[in-house]
């Protein structure tokens, strides 16, 4: 059983069928074994409960996913995050416990990574417009204008009043690099409460595996080939219960004058990160942590990124570089299946 990793926030319709076919071949033995819906702005989300699948559990899971989307999407004007952004430099905004929890964790990873992960990246995301009708390469002047607005230290979180305040007008949050991880963890809570023994949560590449395979063998997770088509994999990770999240240059991008501009920005430079990496895969036990780390480590680059990973307990990583070389941490059971790639010790 192989599952392809591809972390994206929007999927074109022609990839929907491909993803569905791959997943059905890999996981589905009956109509009740899995359920797929579009959430988070059109992202393909598939929950597989195998022979223990029940309509009521699937309904509860997808209802919870949509609740999280409605609270945290910047594309929903009534969301808590949109309200926070609208009140930037004006007043604090009281938020739902979910939002408070996610922002608190995002701030933790901002500090841990020295700002490589920065949830106040919103102005840059809007300026570049990647994966929208307005994607373009902004001028240096435009970038210089918004860079002072990107500073996680100017976010105030008040636990007692459950409020968030952005200190400067023009600031805006974007939780796209952590929301799906949190949503996967919340889906797992529902599954465990339903006493379901094993499950696979696939929120468009944010994979969370619960329990053991029926035959007690290891789960196999395919790591996306960053140089190939969506759904193709270049290697297989063998693992027990775990979460796997990948960030890469292939997720969302556009090309202009022969140059590819992807969606993972340098908070300090304002341009897509260009450090020789094609993708970073994080293997951990908490999907929200893995989600944030995959972005943070990609922005940090290999040397600083591997140093951070090695300081964290029960956290592993796979790095894929532009020259198709691959490095991994020692605790990863990973095999390359595409001869275009080579593992470096």
* Element (DSSP H or E) covering residue 280: strand 277-284
274 has pLDDT over 50: yes
Regarding beta strands 93-94 and 334-336, do their DSSP bridges make them parallel or antiparallel, or are they unpaired? unpaired
DSSP 147: G
Q: List, as one string, the DSSP characters of 317-328.
A: EEEEETTSEEEE
Q: Residue 202 — very low, low, confident or very high, per pLDDT cuts 50/70/90?
A: very high
Query: What pLDDT, in 10s, does the model give residues 279-337?
Result: 999 999 999 999 999 999 999 999 999 999 999 999 999 999 999 999 999 999 999 99
pLDDT in the model for residue 32: 66
The residue assigned the tokens 């949050």 is 173
Which domains are seen in the chain, by residue range?
A: 2-68+197-343 (3.10.520.10), 72-166 (1.10.3980.10)
Query: What pLDDT, in 10s, does the model give residues 229-267?
Result: 777 899 999 999 999 999 988 777 677 778 787 789 999
Q: What average pLDDT score do residues 76-97 get?
A: 98
Q: What average pLDDT score do residues 119-130 get?
A: 94
pLDDT in the model for residue 134: 84
Can you read off the two tokens belonging to residue 247? 């960030």
22 or 324: which carries more pLDDT confidence? Answer: 324
List, edge to edge, every strand of the sheet that includes 2-4: 2-4, 219-224, 233-239, 334-336
From first CA to last CA, the distance across the chain in angstroms is: 27
Cβ atoms of residues 277 and 226 within 8 Å: no
Q: Can you tell me the distance from the alpha carbon of 60 to that of 54, in angstroms, rounded to the nearest whole number?
A: 10
Q: Residue 22 — very low, low, confident or very high, per pLDDT cuts 50/70/90?
A: very low
- Please state, in angstroms and as integers, the Cα–Cα distance from residue 147 to each residue in 132, 152, 170, 189, 333, following that order: 21, 12, 11, 38, 40
Cβ atoms of residues 143 and 271 within 8 Å: yes
Q: Can you tell me the distance from the alpha carbon of 333 to that of 323, in angstroms, rounded to the nearest whole number?
A: 22
Least confident range of 21-35, 102-116, 123-137, 222-236: 21-35
Average pLDDT, the chain: 90
10-95-41 Cα angle (round to 5): 10
Q: Can you tell me the distance from the alpha carbon of 339 to that of 30, in angstroms, rounded to the nearest whole number?
A: 35
Query: What pLDDT, in 10s, does the model give residues 28-75?
Result: 444 468 999 999 988 999 999 999 999 999 999 999 999 999 999 999
Least confident range of 26-30, 169-173, 185-189, 221-225: 26-30
Cβ atoms of residues 58 and 47 within 8 Å: yes
Q: How far is CA 275 from the centre of its chain?
A: 19
* Element (DSSP H or E) covering residue 222: strand 219-224
Q: Can you tell me the distance from the alpha carbon of 315 to that of 311, in angstroms, rounded to the nearest whole number?
A: 9
Cβ atoms of residues 213 and 27 within 8 Å: no
pLDDT in the model for residue 25: 35
21 has pLDDT over 50: no
């Amino acid at each position: 059983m192989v599952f392809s990793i591809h972390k994206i926030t929007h999927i074109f319709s022609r990839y929907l069928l491909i993803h569905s076919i791959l997943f059905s071949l890999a996981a589905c033995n009956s109509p009740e074994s899995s359920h797929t819906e579009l959430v988070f702005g059109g992202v393909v989300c598939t929950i597989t409960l195998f022979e223990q699948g029940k309509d009521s559990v699937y309904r509860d899971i997808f209802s919870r996913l949509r609740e999280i989307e409605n609270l945290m999407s910047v594309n929903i004007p009534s969301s808590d995050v949109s309200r926070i952004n609208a009140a930037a430099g004006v007043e604090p905004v009281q938020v739902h416990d979910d939002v408070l929890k996610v922002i608190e964790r995002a701030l933790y990873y901002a500090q841990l990574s020295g700002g490589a992960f920065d949830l106040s990246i919103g102005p840059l995301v809007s300026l570049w417009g990647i994966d929208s009708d307005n994607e373009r390469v902004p001028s240096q002047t435009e970038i210089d204008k918004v860079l002072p607005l990107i500073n996680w230290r100017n976010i105030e979180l008040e636990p007692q009043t459950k409020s968030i305040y952005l200190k400067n007008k023009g600031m805006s949050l974007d939780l796209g690099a952590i929301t799906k991880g949190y949503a996967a963890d919340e889906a797992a809570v529902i599954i465990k409460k339903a006493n379901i023994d094993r499950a696979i949560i696939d929120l468009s590449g944010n994979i969370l595996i619960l329990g053991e395979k029926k035959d007690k063998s290891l789960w196999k997770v395919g790591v996306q080939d960053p140089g190939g088509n969506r759904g193709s994999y270049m290697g297989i990770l063998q693992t027990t219960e775990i979460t796997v999240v990948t960030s890469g240059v292939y997720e969302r991008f556009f090309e202009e004058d022969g140059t590819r501009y992807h969606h993972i920005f340098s908070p300090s430079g304002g341009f897509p990160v260009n450090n020789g990496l094609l993708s970073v895969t994080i293997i951990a036990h908490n999907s929200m942590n893995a989600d944030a780390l995959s972005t943070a480590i990609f922005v940090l680059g290999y040397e600083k990124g591997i140093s951070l990973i090695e300081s964290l307990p029960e956290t592993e990583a796979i790095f894929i570089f532009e020259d198709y070389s691959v490095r991994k941490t020692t605790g990863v059971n990973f095999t390359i299946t595409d001869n275009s790639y080579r593992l470096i010790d």
